[in-house]
Amino acid sequence: MTRSARIGATWFLLAWGVSIAWPAGESAELWKSARAKQDIHRFSTIITAQQVRDHLATDEGIDSAIQWCRETAVTKVYIEAFRSGYRASRDTLQHAKERFLAAGFDVSGCVTTTIVGKKSTGWNLISCYTDRGTQDRLQEIFEYTAALFDEIMIDDFWFTDCQCSDCDAARRSRTVTIGERTYPVPGDTWEDYRCELMVRLSRERILAPAKRVNPRAKLIIKYPKWYDRFQDRGYDVVRETKAFDRIWVGTETRDYDDRRWGGTPQYEGYFIMRWLGGIGGDKCGGGWFDPYGTTEQTYVEQARQTVLGGARESLLFCYGSLLKDTGPANVRALRACTAELFRVAEHVGRRRVIGVAAYKPPSSRPGSEPYVFDFVGMLGLPLVPCHEFPEDAKAALFSVHAVKDPKLPEKLATLIRRGIPILVTDGLARALDGRVQLDTANVRVLRVQGEPKRLLDLPQAALDALRQPLLKPLGRSFRAPNRVGLYLFADGSWVVENFNDKPATVELDGRTIRIGPRAWRYQWQ
């Protein structure tokens, strides 16, 4: 909506006695700054379908949501039409959309594909998309949403784990049936079947019908954070990224020592943002994180890793959850550092990251080394995630994931002959035994021993020795304890983040730097 259209809508609402809460004081300055910076980085939030019903059904509720967004530097909202079997009313969605637009926000829609139709034999929120009725229902949901919004985000439940008799028969027949049309599947594994099924459904039951209803419609697929299992549930990140207009990245992490929410190293948000950003290029819009199982410190760490990962937008999931439990404290902490995050985002956006190339081919399996990249990043190795073999790397890391590449032995042998420092995991070393000569001066084997979490216990002396040869070709040196991340840029700029609960003293290029607990330091050239 143009500025003049927004003004017109605002006068329309005022004429009907609808109050609009404008921010004041510090909130007004934050909102003004957020509007000015939104082309560099912006904050957004989503209001789920059930929250649309509970929070946006009255003008008073919309007023509160608008005020909260302004106080939180949020300049875009995603108003969800469907989630878990519930479809928000057309009138409520339309009115809320008009109110937010009139208040100066950008507005998009969202769909969460949970409880769509026939239930999966796996997770009870997930559906069986082999089922024709479920396919029909899916299409109806996106047609309904496309009639209301020009942009639609799909939350990260766009997958299937069903193994019912119908799915199994289709898998064994090596065919996928979408409506009346049947397509061949290249293999008979669950990965083969599910990836083909979800790609075909995306094209024929989401994208095509949504764009018929609304030719302006742009659709975003949001990928979950569990990148090592994408292929198991039907996420084909190469073909789906090509099919959709944009992609989004789940950057939600936790303190690894807090296992209530799965224990996720904070560095994962950075790794997956950069890795999927490399696949998506300009299609990659931003990261998405939440307050569940977080403290104020770990919540802000999610924001930092999302920004360092190069995201152009940080989506705060979700409005209703941020009003309760850990949400209010997390939001206060985020508001306190929003201006700093804008500044860092501006610097990151102008610079090229450099470091140790970390090769993860799409749809590669981790073997005994799940999410090993996240743990290696916590060791102070500045990784540059890549989905294509890093032929021009100055230093490189290879894990079991790399065996997905059928030409790995010859490619890796060539890289070794170049003499660059290379770190390979012990799992990959075993897989390549007798196929690649790894007993050379420039290759070092990282002992993961099937438990990546063991890396978080390595002492500083071992880490300093590990980093030294890998950073030498970059002209850098780094000495630091475990759980301190290092991020390097081509112009000499750097960021160091301490994920420990106690202060850390580090040495970067011979310079001593003291960093407080859960804090970061940076220098821009």
Please name the residue that has the structure tokens 């809508």.
9
Region of 450 (left: φ > 0; alpha: ψ -120 to 50; beta: rest) is: left
Size of the chain in residues: 525
DSSP state for residue 258 in the 8-state scheme: -
Assign 3-class secondary structure to 427-482.
Answer: HHHHHCCCCCCCCCCCEEEECCCCCHHHHHHCCHHHHHHHHHHHHHHHCCCEECCC
Please name the residue that has the structure tokens 């024929």.
204
Tokens representing 402 are 């790399």
CA distance 346 to 37: 9
- Domain ranges for the chain, please list them: 251-280+292-350, 353-523
SS3 272: helix
pTM equals 0.94
SS3 351: coil
Question: Contact at 8 Å (CB) between 359 and 496?
Answer: no
Please name the residue that has the structure tokens 């030294």.
468
Please name the residue that has the structure tokens 């030409």.
407
Which of 357, 450, 360 has its CA nearest to residue 405?
360
Q: Following CA atoms 327, 332, 333, 336 in sequence, which dihedral angle do they give, to the nearest 10 degrees?
A: 150
Question: Contact at 8 Å (CB) between 112 and 81?
Answer: no
By the 10 Å C-beta count (0-12 exposed, 13-18 middle, 19+ buried), 147 is classed as middle
Residue type, 472: K
Per-residue pLDDT of the chain (525 residues; tens, 9 = 90+): 333 333 333 333 332 333 334 445 667 888 999 999 999 999 999 999 999 999 999 999 999 999 999 999 999 999 999 999 999 999 999 999 999 999 999 999 999 999 999 999 999 999 999 999 999 999 999 999 999 999 999 999 999 999 999 999 999 999 999 999 999 999 999 999 999 999 999 999 999 999 999 999 999 999 999 999 999 999 999 999 999 999 999 999 987 887 777 779 999 999 999 999 999 999 999 999 999 999 999 999 999 999 999 999 999 999 999 999 999 999 999 999 999 999 999 999 999 999 999 999 999 999 999 999 999 999 999 999 999 999 999 999 999 999 999 999 999 999 999 999 999 999 999 999 999 999 999 999 999 999 999 999 999 999 999 999 999 999 999 999 999 999 999 999 999 999 999 999 999 999 999 999 999 999 999
Going through 155-235 in order, the beta strands assigned E by DSSP cover: 175-178, 181-184, 218-223
Which of 474, 352, 361, 484 has its CA nearest to residue 411?
361
